[in-house]
Copies of this chain bind each other. A is one copy, B any other.
Amino acid sequence: MQSFTEENYLKVIYHLAEKTETVQTNAIAEQIQTKPASVTDMIKKLAEKGLVDYIKYQGVSLTEKGKSAAIDIVRKHRLWEVFLVDKLNFKWDEVHDVAEELEHIKSVSLIERLDEFLGFPKSDPHGDPIPDKHGRFAKTQFIKLIDLKIGDSGTITGVSQHSSAFLKHLEKLGLTLGKQIQITDVTDFDGSVEILSSDKQINISREVAKHILISSNGKI
């Protein structure tokens, strides 16, 4: 059984490992909002417990045991987010912080029953996949909107930024999950992207386009 703090470390290491094979002390410190010295201490403890592989100065990676613990927390986080949006009418930009707390509630039957109550959802309000109780989930094949070419079209199926500011912005633009979009132009000047969505022309910045994930269906 892991402490609240240990669980947060495992989850952060898991997410960072999606980008780089082995995870750096500083990167963890930044995510956890703590100092590198504290991270080193905790990493040693997690290594003792067999949750991470750790070689001094070489970074850290999750063991199978650590990975499965991390996925379990991610599962809980995403299920609670679905609950908050589907049942309690939270907006998609309001759920993350509460889910950060709820994900640490320790009860296997609670999560299994919640999963059932929600109808075994496959993805959370941000399009992220929800692992099943065995930790299995489909690795989703997303393309960043920024990487599409003029004329390409697809469906918004995820976001790679969960900040309230970003999500509220998308909401205002009408760019929510499930929306069909087509790239109509890319501005030379600032690289902003012109898209067609719900019969409206919208201009979004490169920064926004980077964090919208599309499941492409090629040309219309």
Contact = CB atoms under 8 A, between A and B. Distances in A.
A94 B108 CA distance: 12
How many copies altogether? 2
A173 interface: no
B87 A110 contact: no
Interface stretch (A7-15, A66-74, A98-106, A152-160): A98-106
Interface in A94-126: 94, 97-98, 101-102, 105-107, 109-110, 113-114, 117
A90 interface: yes
Interface of A: 84, 87-90, 94, 97-98, 101-102, 105-107, 109-110, 113-114, 117
19 contacts: A84-B110, A87-B117, A88-B110, A88-B113, A88-B114, A88-B117, A89-B113, A90-B109, A90-B113, A94-B109, A97-B107, A98-B105, A98-B107, A98-B110, A101-B105, A101-B106, A101-B107, A102-B105, A105-B105
